[in-house]
Every structure is written in C-alpha cells, then in structure tokens.
C-alpha cells in the first residue's frame, strides 16, 4: 500500500482511511487489483475509499477465510 500511494515509510494509523492518506480513485483501483492478486479477495473501490485501514484488514481477512473454507 505504501508504494501504491507513494507514502513515506512511516506506518499509517489503523484508524486512517485511504482518502486521509491521499488516495484517489485510481490508487484505490490499483490497490484493489493488488489485493485480488495476492489474496484472491475482491474488495469494492467504495469499501477501499470509505473504510479505515483496520476495517480493510478485517474485511480482507474475513473474506479470505470464507474463500478458503
């Protein structure tokens, strides 16, 4: 995510949103495909832009568990 959003190496807080970190819709689409490629989980762009980092991590984790079940 840091590379996609071209952020400094300092970690973002769990309550930060992608928008608060400077993400635009193009960043979200890029991240969407990276998540899909690495986890097999589809996350809508709306969820990427409207959720906190912690919410996204939970969402991807839960959807990955369901996909593996």
- pLDDT at residue 67, rounded to an integer: 75
- pLDDT at residue 22, rounded to an integer: 81
Tell me the CATH number for domain 2-68: 1.10.1200.10
Task: At 66, give phi and psi (nearest 5°).
Answer: -65, -40
- pLDDT at residue 20, rounded to an integer: 86
Could you count the other beta carbons within 10 Å of the beta carbon of residue 27?
20
- pLDDT at residue 52, rounded to an integer: 92
- pLDDT at residue 7, rounded to an integer: 58
Residues in the chain: 69
Q: How far apart are the first and last CA of the chain?
A: 27
Query: Number of H helices and number of E strands within the chain?
Result: 4, 0
Mean pLDDT by groups of 10 residues along the chain of 69 residues: 59 80 87 92 93 92 84
- pLDDT at residue 11, rounded to an integer: 61
Query: Crossing angle of helices 25-39/53-68, nearest 10°?
Result: 30
């Amino acid at each position: 995510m840091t590379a996609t959003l071209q952020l400094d190496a300092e970690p973002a807080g769990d309550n930060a949103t992608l928008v608060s970190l400077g993400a635009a819709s193009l960043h979200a689409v890029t991240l969407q495909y990276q998540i899909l490629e690495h986890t097999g989980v589809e996350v809508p762009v709306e969820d990427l832009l409207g959720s906190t980092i912690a919410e996204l991590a939970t969402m991807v984790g839960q959807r990955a568990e369901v996909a593996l079940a």
